[in-house]
């Protein structure tokens, strides 16, 4: 345990020197926060609370980009080779990377909540236990995705291309950038095959709708299973040396990471109600339509003239 703590501390120190990690884990999340809170929510506490779930989800998801880039850079610079001569296994290195990423990411999320409270005067943050669990599981899940990317790419350029191809659909189709209820019905159906959708909608329901953790079992269970699967695969594909290239057929193992959400997406499209829940949250933010007549006026008969 002492060796693992030492390795984690070293990973934190090395990561803090990585400018790409600082951009995707600190600068970009705060940029999204003030964009959503100041422009989309117009500074209104209810609107800020509505968009806080997607903003936190973007912060959590951004960790996969910085983590994958940092590991590939460490391998190219020969830093991982130095760890290889110590009694450190691939699982130790990857687990310490996930833990270090968690400790580096969590202060950013905490500051976002503090900004929401003291700058935009949000006083109710929903179910904090459900929020904390979703943030923790989501961080591990997307950090493990970063480990898989780092394990199958050979150069920093290749890593950036793969990250970009993953990042764009994750943020644009999951409700992280635009509310899911705003998206076309076909896009909503496609979004149910993405892990980001379950993180975004889970956090929004926990923060905005105060949904307890036991009513978010689908989101929590799917992300937790995905985290275990991606971490296991990354450990199988991990390489210490930059000269060692990943086998082409080994990359096919990465396709196994899509199986959980492929099955869940079909099930949710047939039996689930995540789009309906997203619409309900948006309706709660908008309030009742002012053009609709009050119920009592519809029931009154015409008065005699």
- Residue 113 located in a structural domain: yes
What is the model's pLDDT at position 305?
38
What is the model's pLDDT at position 229?
92
What is the model's pLDDT at position 302?
43
User: Burial letters for 222-251: b for 16+ Cβ neighbours within 10 Å, e otherwise?
Assistant: bbbebbebbbbbbbebbbbebeeebeeeee
What is the model's pLDDT at position 287?
64
Residue 20, Cβ neighbours under 10 Å: how many? 16
- Residue 292 located in a structural domain: no
Nearest in space to 56 (alpha carbons), one of 208, 279, 221: 208
Contact between 25 and 108 under an 8 Å Cβ cutoff? The reply is yes
- Residue 299 located in a structural domain: no
- Residue 297 located in a structural domain: no
pLDDT digits (tens, 9 = 90+) for 223-279: 999 999 999 988 888 888 877 777 766 667 777 888 889 999 999 999 989 999 999
Number of domains in the chain: 1
Which residues form the domain of 96? 2-286
What is the model's pLDDT at position 292?
37
- Residue 54 located in a structural domain: yes
Q: How far apart are CA 37 and CA 183, in angstroms?
A: 20
Residue 113, Cβ neighbours under 10 Å: how many? 17
Count how many Cα atoms sit within 13 Å of the Cα of residue 197 in the half-sphere of its side chain.
26
Q: How far apart are CA 251 and CA 120, in angstroms?
A: 46
| Token digits of residue 36 | 């959503």
Handedness of CA 193, 199, 202, 208 (dihedral sign): negative
3-state SS assignment for residue 122: coil
Q: How far apart are CA 185 and CA 183, in angstroms?
A: 6
**Is the overall model pTM greater than 0.85, yes or no?**
yes
Nearest in space to 44 (alpha carbons), one of 148, 92, 116, 135: 116
Calculate the alpha carbon distances from 237 to 86, 88, 225, 266 in Å: 19, 16, 19, 29
- Residue 134 located in a structural domain: yes
Calculate the alpha carbon distances from 189 to 4, 58, 134, 176, 218 in Å: 42, 21, 22, 15, 16
- Residue 301 located in a structural domain: no
Per run of 10 residues, the mean pLDDT along the chain (length 305 residues) is: 77 74 78 89 91 93 83 84 80 88 90 94 93 95 91 85 89 90 92 95 94 94 94 86 72 80 93 90 69 40 42
Calculate the alpha carbon distances from 175 to 38, 78, 162, 172 in Å: 18, 39, 21, 7
Contact between 243 and 159 under an 8 Å Cβ cutoff? The reply is no
What is the model's pLDDT at position 288?
47
Owner of token pair 């070293």: 10
Owner of token pair 């000269």: 243
Contact between 240 and 83 under an 8 Å Cβ cutoff? The reply is yes
């Amino acid at each position: 345990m002492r060796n693992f703590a030492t390795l984690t501390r070293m990973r934190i120190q090395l990561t803090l020197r990585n400018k790409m990690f600082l951009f995707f884990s600190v600068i970009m999340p705060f940029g999204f926060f003030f964009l959503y809170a100041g422009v989309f929510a117009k500074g209104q506490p209810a609107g800020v609370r509505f968009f806080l779930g997607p903003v936190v989800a973007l912060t959590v998801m951004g960790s996969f980009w910085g983590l994958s880039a940092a590991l590939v850079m460490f391998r190219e610079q020969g830093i991982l080779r130095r760890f290889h001569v110590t009694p450190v296994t691939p699982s130790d290195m990857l687990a310490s990377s996930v833990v270090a990423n968690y400790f580096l990411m969590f202060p950013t999320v905490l500051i976002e909540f503090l900004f929401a409270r003291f700058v935009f005067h949000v006083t109710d943050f929903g179910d904090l236990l459900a929020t904390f669990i979703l943030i923790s599981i989501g961080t591990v899940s997307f950090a493990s995705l970063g480990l898989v990317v780092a394990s199958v790419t050979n150069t920093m350029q290749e890593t950036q291309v793969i990250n970009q191809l993953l990042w764009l659909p994750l943020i644009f189709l999951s409700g992280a950038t635009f509310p899911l209820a705003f998206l076309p019905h076909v896009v909503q159906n496609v979004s149910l095959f993405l892990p980001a959708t379950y993180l975004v909608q889970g956090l929004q329901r926990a923060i905005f709708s105060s949904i307890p953790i036991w009513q978010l079992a689908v989101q929590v269970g799917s992300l937790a299973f995905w985290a275990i699967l991606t971490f296991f695969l990354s450990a199988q594909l991990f390489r210490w040396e930059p000269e060692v290239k990943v086998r082409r057929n080994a990359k096919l193992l990465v396709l196994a990471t899509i199986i959980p959400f492929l099955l869940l997406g079909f099930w949710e499209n047939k039996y689930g109600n995540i789009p309906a829940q997203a619409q309900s949250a948006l309706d709660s933010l908008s309030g009742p339509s002012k053009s609709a007549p009050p119920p009592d006026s519809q029931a009154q008969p015409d008065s005699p003239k």
